[in-house]
Structure 1
Amino acid sequence: MRGTPAILVVLALATAPALAQNRTDLQPLPAVPPPPPEMAPFDASLEPEVTIKKRDGDTIEEHRINGKLFKIKVTPEHGVPYYLIDTNGDGNFTQTTMGNPDVRVPQWVIGTF
């Protein structure tokens, strides 16, 4: 209990200069400028259209841009999802698990818990 009055005295001495300030040279902040105009207008045709279908327990997501199918994601009911990607735009799909057909990752199951 002896330390409580000493702490109050220290706090009073520390806050006294802040309370004693009475500045008259303050000026208001300038108004916030408006945000810059958008760099490019939003084009909804560039966003992919995703169609989700369920077949025999599998979930199939078809991704299209301008009505053209370019990627299919297949998520089996029990298993690892994989992608079918049309890399050249010719309708021939390449299977991959990472989204990049050039990367082939070994997917051996070593152990499950």
Structure 2
Amino acid sequence: MRFTMLLLSLVITPAVLAAEAEIAPAPEPPEIPEQVQSGETLEPDITIIQKKEEVVEEYRVNGRLYQVKITPARGLPYYLIDTDGDGELETRANDITKSQVPQWVLFSWD
């Protein structure tokens, strides 16, 4: 048994060392591109719509509606928020609830 292990180690060790020696060195990392200056503003476009019983404020960024604030004639204002970016306003919140965690869009494809 020991002889077999010795023989296997003598055969396998040079093969492993040869394989490690053939690994090419890693290429140089590419240069970091310069920061792109964007001409668009990060401020949302706000459209205010006056109705009889309420005031509706629509918040848009890059033309996409992401939040609506509704202020009724009586009562507290509340928000309808698109939390996942699919175009449907599914979250309802008021000023009393805790604030939302900021969510930024890093990349998007149209």
Task: Normalising by structure 2, report the TM-score.
Answer: 0.49
Greater Rg by CA = 1
Task: Normalising by structure 1, report the TM-score.
Answer: 0.48
